[in-house]
Amino acid sequence: MRRTACAIVSLALLATPALAAPGDRSERLLAELSNAGSPPGYEEPVRAIMVRELKPITDKIGYDGLGSVIAQSGSSGPRIMLDVHMDELGGMIRRVTPDGYMTMQMLGGWLDQALPGQRWIIIGANGPVHAVTGIRDAHLVPATSDERNKVVSRDNVFLDVGAKDAAGVAALGVSPGDPVIPDSTFLAMPNGRYVGKAWDDRAGCAVVIEAMRRLRASGHPNQLFIAATVQEEMGMRGAQPAAEAIKPDIAIAIEGGLTSDNPPKQNAEETQGRLGAGPGMFLFDGSALPSRRMVRFVDDTARAKGIPLQHDLIAGYGEDTAPIQKSGTGVPTVNLVVPVRYTHVHNGIMDRADFDGMVDLVVALIQKLDAPTVAKLRDYTPAP
């Protein structure tokens, strides 16, 4: 892809709307991370935020060959990997039609019904370009037509930047291969809830930054590696190279979870998470089984600290612990989640209390992961 410094700088400016500054430090961080545009393969804006925030509170920062950020804190003790991913669902310009419309290659697990009638931002060579996905006008669809009840296929969704023809698109600096992100701005809602895009996994990115601030002050008995990975939404591509570089003894992923408390009510067999009921832990997902010992360790730690902890099992879900647990000679892993209402769409909602509870839990877990504890978690010798 052709890319210029202008495009990155312009996107950064665009991603911070001229609104009143949000509340405290965590809220400002969540707003900045949510507003930043980083689809798979174009994680530069979020990478810059992660490096800026982690550099003063870690000992060393490096990168693997795919662009994941690996920050280290501590030089002795067991090797603990704390994983989040920087990318979000997005798209890529596939082709430009002669009359100035564009088709999209979707990146990540979109539902077709989430695509029409939305605003988007194309990250073009000359900077961000605003676009909309059109939909057939309701006045033109007969009242008796089945079309009124059908989902528009992604193959029939076109981006419109207001251009008159293909030359007009080219003049805007847009061409095939350019990344596309949802156009959605952070907003603080009543009752300590936040609406924004990409809580999967910008909530996790903010958790590790805030947890690391506290761990920097309190100390911890291990070598802590924070891995901010790329291309998770494209089949967890970034986690394995990061894990191979870190060679962890134990790994914990922090993700955006799901909820069942919004209408229409979800089947309890599909998900059981609730917004505002505390951080969560997956006992099963479609990509990985957690270490049972890690599950008990998290349960015991949360109980001892008085942190409410939700359990969930999600069949249609994939996350970074899948490749991490298969790296090297095998790694005990567990996936922790900040519950999110409405994921993989333009606007999701998270609860600040769930976020704060996750920060508390991560700090408590890392502080307890000393050499004897990690050795016990990794010891599969049968009892005599």
- Residues marked active site are found at 232
Question: H or E segment at 71?
Answer: strand 69-73
Both tokens of 317, joined, read 């879900």
Task: List the end-to-end C-alpha distance of the chain, in Å, as a whole number.
Answer: 59
Cα R_g (the chain), whole angstroms = 21
The DSSP secondary-structure symbol of 149 reads G
Q: Give backbone dihedrals phi and psi of 323, rounded to 5 degrees, phi first.
A: -70, -30
- How many C-beta atoms surround the C-beta of residue 305 within 10 A? 15
Residue with tokens 């350019």: 178
Give the angle subtended at the CA of 38 by the CAs of 244 and 93, to the nearest 5°: 110
Kindly state the tokens that stand for 337: 């989640």
Rounded Cα gap, residues 31 and 186, in angstroms: 5
Rounded to 10 degrees, the C-alpha dihedral 10/15/17/22 comes to: -140
Helix (H, G, I), strand (E, B) or coil at 345: coil
What letter represents residue 254's amino acid?
A: I
